[in-house]
Structure 1
Amino acid sequence: MKPRTYALSVPLIGVLAAALLAGCAGDPDRDGCDISALGTADDSISLAAAVAPSRLVAGSLTAGADGKYVVASCTDGTCRWNAGGGAYEPISETGYGAISPDLTLVARKVGCSDIALVEVDSDEEVQRLEGLPNPKVTDASPVGEIAFSPDGELVAGAGLEGDLIVWSVEDGDEVASADLGNGIGSISFSPDGTQLAVASGDGVAILEAESGDEVDTLAAARGADPIWSPDGRWISGVTSEGYPTVWDATTFEAVETLPGQPATAVAFSPDSRSLAVTADPGDVRLMLWAPAALGGSGGSREIAQAPAMTSKVIFSPDGKTLYTASAREGLAAWDVATGKPAGTFDQPPMP
């Protein structure tokens, strides 16, 4: 068995901080464990604030498939904005670890090592996902990253020690499991839901969703979460040097890298032909990269100066707008063609 690592790296600190924002406190599990001393949804941002004051969990930023809304886990619980800007609506007093593609179901970290699936509209729990180990973490949930499959039928969840389980949303049964031996930084399903890209240790493991078997490993770092292109042909992330890179999703060979641009986040355009990159060579810039391997020119252009600490970027479904999320600065939107702000968004308060 691979040795387990417990060092509190930046990704792990982020997991612990996000755990409280995602509403892991105050829910005894079926073994009698209760971490309610951490507080309720009203003050559950305390650990995150101790690490770094945060308006929202940047990695939770999601756009609905219909393009109407953008949502994120925030200091007020779960915040929803109209895609064009304006005030946000707290649609739940509690945040989330993941949200379904249709924005109707959230996955929350509860108890000691469980995940609750909760309907957004009713705020009622409809399924409990169990099986992750409890390593007796005392200051946050031992549940790490969570992800829904693109069709919303599966949920993958990680423990802090490298354990990963895939469950069925319909009945809560375990579908597959794996032990990667090191802390998991992110989980991403392929568009067809058959594979997972899991950032762990010094690379990204590609796993079969139905069995948990490892297919291959990408030599990628955790600087930017690995993502799949919408057409399923490519995977993007960053190299160990921090440069944005595209890998072939069949051969798992690197096909193109953008040198000289250390990246904190990447996102594929809806047509899978270009990528948005938040580059940080001293200041944060939002860039558009058109890799030649994807049919582009191979060049890149700057769209805008992104807010400090930007750690998530996503495209709108029509590809015309980019949304960025910063734990400190909150939500922003940019017109892809002009680089100008695409709306003004009210921000959740700092804790």
Structure 2
Amino acid sequence: MMKKLFLTFALFFFVTLCLSTVFAQYEPSMQIGLPEGAIARFGRGGIREITYSPDGTRFAVATTIGVWIYDAQTGEELDPITGGHTDRVYSAAYSPDNKTIATTSRDGTVRLWDARTGKLQKTLTGHKSWVLSVAYSPDGNTLATGGVDDTIRLWNAHTGENIKTFKGHTDNVSSVKYSPNGDTIISVSGNGTVRFWDANKGQLINTIAGYHTPIAYSPDGRTLLVTSNPNNNEHLVIKDTIYAVHMLNLITGEPVKRISSLYYVNCVAYSPDGKIIAISEGERFGLWNATTGKHLKTFIENTHEVKSIAYSPDGKTIATASWDGTIRWWNVQTGENIKTLKGYIYINVGQTIKYSPDGKIIAITESNEISLWNATTGKHLRTLKGHESFISGFTFSPDGHTIATGSTDGTARLWDTHTGESKKILVRHTNHINEPIRIDTPVFSPDGKTIAARSKHNWVWLWDAHTGKTIITIQGKFSHVRRYMFSPDGQILATNSRGKPVQLWDTTTGKNINTLMGQAWHIMFSPDGKTIATTFSNNLVQLWDTITGENINTLFAPNAYVTVVLYLQGKPFAITIYEDETVSLWDVALGHPIKTFERHGDGIQNLSK
């Protein structure tokens, strides 16, 4: 509990520093459905799937935070459906009468919304874990859902009652769909099995293995499209056509036709008349003849993978959603990109969000790009494009005019914050067989004149921030340099490997000034740069003289499970947290505790010296 309390204080401190700019006004869509305490939303979440309303007048984009509705003819954004679910949204479906939208979520619920007003009508509970997929029966009276609890559940779409539960899958149910006549439900599991169920009796009709989502029914209900992607983590061209789209007989489950691919198949869709199949494979998206399997047309090449496809009910338009957060509408006959919408992002593990020094811009990593947003209005400003692989980290220059990035493509780059232009590639780092080696987050010196960055293989570079010229290249004595920090005056660079001694380098000459002979996980310079505090494990703090490398003092707190060091008014202090929920404040220079905070009941009741 005390750990949570401390982290709460830390978070409050961080937010106070970051939100230095008062948020004056916002885009309307950036304020709808915000969780309690939130001020604004940047972006509309990551795209899960896209769908037209049955009458073709509206278009819905299901994202991780809600459903965004558009006029299908004009592309005008209408009122979104957000704010009900308490966790990530996974799927959405229109009712056949266009009046309701059903959504599923990681919060374990299914929610029904008025498609016009966005008002929540019902919340359906029963799944024991995340609900991944939802589908309406053709008559609109029943909902089918599939989830991580390995079950398919049927619900009365009007009352919300759980009618039936189908069991049999041994892995999460990632997709459920009704046949066009409503008699059969198809479910696909994470382990590659496809099951056919009698929708009325709940009986298992057939099971086939070796296929994956996505799935698509032919409009006549006779065939089913499934995909085979043997290695779900690869999106690379291979010698043999082991990736494919399979057309299965809906009655027997036997393969009828196979469309081979050299690429991972992302998604598929039938045209409304059943004559054409739209397929996203690798980094292209195109159309195939459903009878002959012949490739007809390619819409886009060498772009971000299309993750969802939706035909308009009249078959004249195709909407696609891509991993780059864009939605595009295409004229089926001409292949023309009619309209493009942007702004769909999802902050995932590994992504980074940072404010510019003046608080006016927020930067967010998105795979191999960085999107910049106006911190006052929430508007998307521009996107920094150029890296060929994931961005491992980035930093604003002290004046905010430049952004430095490192990437798994082996490069470090400088960007103009205001134009988005790539100003310079600082380094291209490869191994002996010319494979790129990751460059981690670059760091600016306090005066902004120098940039430091390290590679995965223990190289550290210093560059002139204005010219991009390499000042020095450092190879440390210890492998896997994890952290590097400039002294306040920028004259010294400290580097450390996890659990290894800290090395100090002269940033002008590149000479190794000192090695602090103690194990360290974290390092921190004093404001005047004369001392360095290091921590190791959860209970050891050491104070060092920067010039001589001498160990001034060592603080050992044997039972602490969290230790944090900070300088206050130039003096080093440590905060230690213990399993018995007490917290101690230490004077690192003297090596003894100043106060111990003890928790009683629901709060801190006693302070003992």
Deviation at 1:114, TM superposition (A): 1.9
Deviation at 1:170, TM superposition (A): 1.4
Match of 1:99 in 2: 396
Q: Secondary structure at the match of 2:510?
A: coil
Match of 1:244 in 2: 541
Match of 2:179 in 1: none
Contact 1:111–1:141 (CA under 8 A) maintained in structure 2 = yes
Question: Residues of 2 paired with 1:285 and 1:122: CA distance?
Answer: 50
Show the 5 A alignment for 1:288-327: 289-292=586-589, 299=594
Contact 1:127–1:169 (CA under 8 A) maintained in structure 2 = no
CA 1:127–1:280: 2 relative to 1, 3 Å: farther
Q: Please give the per-residue CA displacement for 1:45-80, whole angstroms capped at 9, x wherever unaligned.
A: xxxxxxxx63754xx86784x7x5796756694688
Aligned match of 1:188 in 477, 485, 497? 485
Question: Residues of 1 paired with 2:597 and 2:432: CA distance?
Answer: 44
Question: Residues of 2 paired with 1:284 and 1:75: CA distance?
Answer: 38
Contact 1:146–1:158 (CA under 8 A) maintained in structure 2 = yes
Q: Please give the per-residue CA displacement for 1:298-345, whole angstroms capped at 9, x wherever unaligned.
A: 5356699xxxxxxxxxxxxxxxxxxxxxxxxxxxxxxxxxxxxxxxxx
Deviation at 1:272, TM superposition (A): 1.9
CA 1:205–1:284: 2 relative to 1, 3 Å: farther
Tell me the amino acid that sits aligned with residue 268 of structure 1. Y
Q: Please give the per-residue CA displacement for 1:241-297, whole angstroms capped at 9, x wherever unaligned.
A: 75233222122222234422455654434x3224465x565599987644345xx98
Contact 2:356–2:363 (CA under 8 A) maintained in structure 1 = no
Tell me the amino acid that sits aligned with residue 228 of structure 1. F
Tell me the amino acid that sits aligned with residue 415 of structure 2. V
Aligned match of 1:215 in 513, 519, 526? 513
CA 1:56–1:208: 2 relative to 1, 3 Å: same
Identify the range of structure 1 (284-293 vs 100-109) with the bigger mean alpha-carbon deviation: 284-293
Alignment RMSD (CA, Å) = 4.5
Q: Please give the per-residue CA displacement for 1:101-130, whole angstroms capped at 9, x wherever unaligned.
A: 233322112573221111222222223212
Q: Secondary structure at the match of 1:161?
A: coil
CA 1:266–1:120: 2 relative to 1, 3 Å: farther
Match of 1:204 in 2: 502
Q: Does 1:149 align with 2:448?
A: no
Q: Secondary structure at the match of 1:175?
A: strand
CA 1:75–1:114: 2 relative to 1, 3 Å: closer
Equivalent residues, number: 248
Match of 1:176 in 2: 472
Q: Please give the per-residue CA displacement for 1:128-177, whole angstroms capped at 9, x wherever unaligned.
A: 21254446797x85113421111110111111111111111111111111
Aligned match of 1:126 in 398, 423, 427? 423
CA 1:87–1:129: 2 relative to 1, 3 Å: same
Percent identity, please. 21
Q: Secondary structure at the match of 1:170?
A: coil
Q: Secondary structure at the match of 2:349?
A: coil
Question: Residues of 1 paired with 2:598 and 2:373: CA distance?
Answer: 25
| Higher relative contact order, structure no. (Cα contacts within 8 Å, ≥ 6 residues apart) | 1
Tell me the amino acid that sits aligned with residue 515 of structure 2. T
Aligned match of 2:567 in 260, 268, 287? 268
CA 1:74–1:289: 2 relative to 1, 3 Å: farther
Q: Secondary structure at the match of 1:150?
A: coil
Deviation at 1:189, TM superposition (A): 0.6
Question: Residues of 2 paired with 1:263 and 1:283: CA distance?
Answer: 12
Match of 1:161 in 2: 457
Deviation at 1:238, TM superposition (A): 0.8
Contact 2:525–2:533 (CA under 8 A) maintained in structure 1 = yes
Tell me the amino acid that sits aligned with residue 199 of structure 1. N
Match of 1:109 in 2: 406
Q: Secondary structure at the match of 2:442?
A: strand
Show the 5 A alignment for 1:269-288: 269=568, 271-275=569-573, 277=575, 279=576, 281=578
Match of 1:33 in 2: none
Question: Residues of 1 paired with 2:504 and 2:513: CA distance?
Answer: 5
Tell me the amino acid that sits aligned with residue 447 of structure 2. D
Question: Residues of 2 paired with 1:61 and 1:286: CA distance?
Answer: 30
CA 1:267–1:303: 2 relative to 1, 3 Å: farther
Q: Secondary structure at the match of 2:528?
A: coil
CA 1:127–1:63: 2 relative to 1, 3 Å: closer
Question: Residues of 2 paired with 1:213 and 1:121: CA distance?
Answer: 36
Question: Residues of 1 paired with 2:573 and 2:354: CA distance?
Answer: 17
Deviation at 1:223, TM superposition (A): 3.0
Question: Residues of 1 paired with 2:378 and 2:566: CA distance?
Answer: 24
Give me the TM-score of the superposition, normalised by structure 1.
0.55
Tell me the amino acid that sits aligned with residue 567 of structure 2. F
CA 1:154–1:39: 2 relative to 1, 3 Å: farther
Question: Residues of 2 paired with 1:164 and 1:103: CA distance?
Answer: 23
Question: Residues of 2 paired with 1:265 and 1:230: CA distance?
Answer: 17
Question: Residues of 2 paired with 1:131 and 1:123: CA distance?
Answer: 20
Contact 2:405–2:441 (CA under 8 A) maintained in structure 1 = no
Question: Residues of 2 paired with 1:256 and 1:217: CA distance?
Answer: 16
Question: Residues of 2 paired with 1:230 and 1:185: CA distance?
Answer: 22
Tell me the amino acid that sits aligned with residue 176 of structure 1. I
Question: Residues of 2 paired with 1:254 and 1:104: CA distance?
Answer: 39
Q: Which runs of 5+ in 1 are unaligned?
A: 1-35, 45-52, 305-351
Contact 2:437–2:457 (CA under 8 A) maintained in structure 1 = no
Which structure has the highest strand share of the two? Answer: 2
Larger radius of gyration: 2
Question: Residues of 2 paired with 1:69 and 1:246: CA distance?
Answer: 37
Match of 1:332 in 2: none
Q: Secondary structure at the match of 1:299?
A: strand
